[in-house]
């Protein structure tokens, strides 16, 4: 079967999101392309991440998953037609959930492609227990080893370039990412702690730069109101802007949320704050300098402890009570 895999000409890679997962998957994407340099490779993803797929240079085509609800028969039939028309020889399911297992069944009774993933009866089966017990990057590495891909590079976002001159950013800046998904407020370090951190950053000659979506403005606006010297870019940046800004940052501090994955991969020395609701050992950003701090209740994570981590970035010889950088 591995010999047939090497002859695959049309390949589908499935990765639906979220942002952090997409960034972690960039290494596996590249490894798949290197395994099949001459194949026509399609990425199936959601519309939010289609531009990443189009511009990363690893895919020939993008298939948008519109995630039909169970009662939307017409949409399911459209999706089935799209999958069958793809004439895929091989599918790499890097999402590995119940939805993509159903997508596997949509090929029946037509020719079913070779499939790497957790779907029942996959030619290249991958056991992906839930909840996960390993970092997402390690799970991808194990899955791809099952098809003979033994080396996976770390995420590379050097291609995410854009002109950020309009933001007029200072040379020394500290990126702050104080938000999180709306349904995960427990993942947010209290905004009063970010306000206290701004005071220390400014005294150290670092301009705080606030990042987030428009919906997170209720958080970032209160921080910038306390310290008008901060630059508030809430709702003004694209994903490509975040990568470009991260490449220039002196340090970045933020919650366990997607933008920190992108900023860390771009090279910003990053300090990521985890509550007990998620684990750095399962989902920490991957980058050249990523440090994770965890406290069961983020209200108990002191500004002093975070500041020690910042100082360890600004002065690597300084003693800091932090976790070792996580690089799977």
Task: Provide the residue-wise pLDDT of the chain in tens; the chain has 328 residues.
Answer: 778 898 999 999 999 999 999 999 999 999 999 999 999 999 999 999 999 999 999 999 999 999 999 999 999 999 999 999 999 999 999 999 999 999 999 999 888 999 999 999 999 999 888 778 899 999 999 999 999 999 999 999 999 999 999 999 999 999 999 999 889 999 999 999 999 999 999 999 999 999 999 999 999 999 999 999 999 999 999 999 999 999 999 999 999 999 999 999 999 999 999 999 999 999 999 999 999 999 999 999 999 999 999 999 998 876 544 444 444 4
Residue 4 has a CB neighbour count (10 Å cut-off) of 11
Q: What are the angstrom distances between the C-alpha of 286 and each of 56, 135, 145, 260? A: 18, 10, 20, 10
Range of the domain at 120: 2-145
Which tokens go with 219?
A: 């958080």
**Structural domains in the chain (count):** 2
- Whether omega before 326 lies within 30 degrees of 0, making that bond cis, reads no
Which tokens go with 321?
A: 């009570």
CATH of the domain at 263: 3.40.50.2000
DSSP code at position 65: -
DSSP assignment of 101-137 equals HHHHHTTTTSPPPEEEESSTT-SEE----SS--S-HH
Q: Are residues 131 and 179 in the same domain?
A: no
Q: Answer yes or no: is 79 within a domain.
A: yes
Q: Answer yes or no: is 320 within a domain.
A: no
pLDDT at 186: 96
| Among the listed residues 57, 52, 101, the one whose alpha carbon sits nearest the alpha carbon of residue 261 | 52
Q: Answer yes or no: is 39 within a domain.
A: yes
Q: Answer yes or no: is 156 within a domain.
A: no
pLDDT at 319: 54
């Amino acid at each position: 079967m591995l010999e047939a895999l090497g002859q695959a000409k049309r390949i589908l890679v499935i990765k639906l999101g979220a942002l952090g997962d997409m960034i972690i998957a960039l290494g596996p994407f590249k490894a798949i392309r290197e395994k099949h340099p001459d194949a026509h490779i399609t990425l199936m993803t959601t519309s939010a991440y289609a531009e990443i797929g189009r511009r990363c240079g690893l895919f020939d085509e993008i298939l948008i998953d519109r995630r039909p609800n169970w009662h939307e028969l017409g949409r399911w039939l459209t999706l089935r037609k799209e999958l069958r028309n793809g004439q895929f020889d091989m599918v790499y399911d890097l999402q590995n959930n119940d939805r993509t297992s159903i997508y596997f069944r949509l090929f029946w009774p037509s020719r079913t492609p070779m499939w790497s993933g957790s779907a029942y009866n996959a030619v290249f089966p991958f056991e992906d227990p839930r909840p996960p017990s390993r970092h997402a990057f390690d799970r991808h590495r194990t899955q791809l080893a099952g098809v003979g891909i033994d080396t996976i590079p770390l995420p590379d976002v050097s291609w995410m370039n854009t002109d950020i001159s309009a933001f007029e950013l200072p040379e020394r800046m500290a990126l702050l990412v104080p938000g999180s998904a709306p349904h995960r407020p427990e993942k947010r370090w209290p905004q009063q702690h970010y306000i206290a951190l701004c005071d220390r950053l400014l005294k150290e000659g670092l301009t705080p730069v606030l990042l987030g979506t428009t919906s997170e403005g209720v958080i970032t606006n209160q921080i910038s109101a306390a310290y008008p010297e901060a630059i508030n870019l809430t709702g003004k940046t694209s994903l490509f802007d975040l990568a470009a800004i991260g490449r220039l940052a002196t340090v970045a501090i933020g919650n366990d949320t997607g933008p920190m994955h992108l900023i860390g991969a771009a090279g910003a020395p990053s300090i990521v704050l985890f509550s007990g609701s998620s684990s750095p050992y399962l989902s920490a950003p991957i980058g050249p300098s990523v440090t994770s701090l965890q406290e069961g209740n983020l209200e108990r994570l002191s500004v002093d402890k975070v500041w020690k981590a910042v100082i360890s970035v600004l002065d690597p010889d300084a003693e800091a009570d932090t976790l070792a950088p996580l690089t799977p």
